């Protein structure tokens, strides 16, 4: 009986040892095949619009700084700041005695040259008539008078050209408005000596019945278009009042200093309510012409080397480089080598290395 008990005890002990060995041998294998699970979502394209705020500046539709072409003294200043002027209206008259004297001298020179030319022309015509009788006039004499007549004709044309030059300079003594607008600066008084060497303009004329609203738009937004090509803006001078302007033109190139493109909007300022030089707080409603990828901002990983998202392909992690577009609250528009239906990790970090086996779990 005791021998039977011994045999049974031996069999039980061996069975227990076998189970323990099998348990120890399978445990590492189970640990090796164990994978981490991670929340993911399925990437898709979305259509969206977004309101963006930009600082802007109102500038005149046209602006001209008036300088004197010739040196002289201001004889009569006919306008002051704030005056409304029309195109061609006289703004300033200058007094330049030396120029007037030069013009008079050039005019007298023309009369002298004309008289001399008429005399040589008459002499040449006479000798031509005399030359109709053979042997009356020497050939050398006829050629001399012809050369004299041609020289006097050239001298007359030269003096006329000089007179025209002084006449043009004389016209510069009367300065007119280049376009209709408002005089916004005046830096001279009657009696002031002015000329082309002056650093400051005599007057500044601005056309402000229309104003240009110029905005620096960041590179990420230049592919989008304002809804209906319009913009709304406010100015500090009129709190709570909304103004509207229409898109007129884009620069077509980026400013390499701040990576922005200048957009210009036109505001109808017929009532002259707004002034050039004002700063504007602008709001643009952007819309993409085609859908694009938008994902939670937590999915985008940025380190010292790159910006990327983590895509799971057959359960393995893959880093995909991306560029950011619009920021939409807790989401961000992105561009990269992605396709619709990709499985993207919801909360990415650079501890998830490429090739790591992950178990995707669709986030709710």
Residue 313 is part of a domain; what is its CATH number? 2.40.420.20
CA distance linking residue 319 with residue 208, whole number of Å: 54
197 and 76 both lie in a single domain: yes
CB 359 within 8 A of CB 39: no
Supply the pLDDT for residue 136.
73
163 and 218 both lie in a single domain: no
Supply the pLDDT for residue 10.
59
Supply the pLDDT for residue 29.
43
74 and 193 both lie in a single domain: yes
Which CATH number do you get for residue 268?
2.40.30.170
162 and 258 both lie in a single domain: no
Quickly count: other Cβ atoms within 10 Å of residue 16's Cβ.
10
282 and 296 both lie in a single domain: no
154 and 271 both lie in a single domain: no
Supply the pLDDT for residue 233.
94
Helices (H), the chain: 2-33, 97-130, 139-171
Which among 245, 262, 287 is the end of a domain?
A: 287
CA distance linking residue 350 with residue 337, whole number of Å: 19
Does residue 280 fall inside a structural domain? yes
Does residue 274 fall inside a structural domain? yes
Does residue 111 fall inside a structural domain? yes
104 and 163 both lie in a single domain: yes
219 and 332 both lie in a single domain: no
Q: Which domain holds residue 258?
A: 52-61+207-287
299 and 343 both lie in a single domain: yes
Supply the pLDDT for residue 91.
95
235 and 305 both lie in a single domain: no
Phi-psi region of 213 (alpha: psi -120 to 50; beta: other; left: phi over 0): beta
Q: Which two tokens mark 177?
A: 């408005």
Supply the pLDDT for residue 16.
53
pTM (predicted TM-score):
0.60
58, exposed or middle or buried, with CB in 10 Å at 0-12, 13-18, 19+?
Answer: buried
Domain count, the chain: 4
CA distance linking residue 139 with residue 143, whole number of Å: 6
Residues lower than pLDDT 50 in the chain: 1, 19, 21, 23-33
Supply the pLDDT for residue 143.
84
Does residue 252 fall inside a structural domain? yes
Terminal CA-to-CA distance of the chain, rounded, Å? 67
Supply the pLDDT for residue 8.
54
168 and 179 both lie in a single domain: no
Does residue 5 fall inside a structural domain? no
114 and 213 both lie in a single domain: no
Which CATH number do you get for residue 186?
2.40.50.100
Does residue 26 fall inside a structural domain? no
Does residue 18 fall inside a structural domain? no
């Amino acid at each position: 009986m005791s021998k039977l008990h011994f045999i049974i005890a031996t069999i039980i002990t061996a069975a227990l040892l076998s189970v323990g060995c099998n348990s120890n041998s399978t445990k590492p294998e189970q640990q090796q095949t164990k994978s981490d699970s991670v929340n993911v979502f399925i990437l898709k394209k979305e259509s969206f619009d977004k309101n963006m705020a930009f600082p802007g500046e109102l500038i005149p539709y046209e602006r001209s700084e008036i300088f004197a072409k010739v040196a002289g003294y201001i004889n009569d200043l006919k306008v002051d700041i704030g005056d409304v002027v029309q195109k061609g209206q006289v703004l300033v008259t200058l007094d330049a005695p030396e120029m007037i004297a030069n013009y008079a001298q050039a005019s007298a020179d023309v009369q002298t040259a004309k008289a001399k030319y008429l005399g040589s022309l008459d002499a040449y015509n006479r000798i031509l008539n005399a030359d109709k009788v053979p042997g009356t006039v020497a050939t050398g004499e006829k050629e001399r008078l012809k050369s004299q007549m041609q020289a006097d004709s050239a001298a007359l044309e030269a003096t006329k050209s000089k007179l025209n030059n002084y006449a043009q300079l004389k016209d510069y003594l009367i300065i007119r408005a280049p376009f209709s607008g408002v005089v916004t600066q005046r830096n001279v008084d009657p009696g002031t000596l002015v000329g082309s060497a002056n650093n400051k303009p005599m007057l500044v004329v601005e056309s402000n019945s229309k104003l240009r609203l110029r905005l620096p738009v960041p590179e990420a937004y230049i592919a989008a278009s304002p809804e209906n090509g319009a913009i709304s803006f406010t100015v500090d001078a009129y709190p709570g009042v909304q103004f509207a302007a229409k898109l007129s033109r884009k620069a077509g190139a980026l400013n390499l200093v701040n990576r922005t493109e200048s957009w210009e909007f036109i505001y109808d300022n017929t009532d002259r309510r707004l002034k050039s030089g004002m700063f504007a707080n602008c709001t643009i409603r952007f819309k993409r012409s085609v859908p694009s990828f938008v994902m939670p901002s937590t999915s985008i990983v940025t380190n010292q080397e790159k910006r990327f998202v983590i895509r799971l392909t057959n359960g393995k992690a893959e880093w995909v480089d991306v560029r950011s577009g619009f920021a939409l609250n807790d989401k961000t528009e992105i561009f990269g080598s992605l396709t619709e239906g990709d499985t993207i990790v919801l909360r990415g970090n650079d501890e998830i290395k490429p090739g790591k086996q992950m178990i995707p779990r669709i986030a709710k």
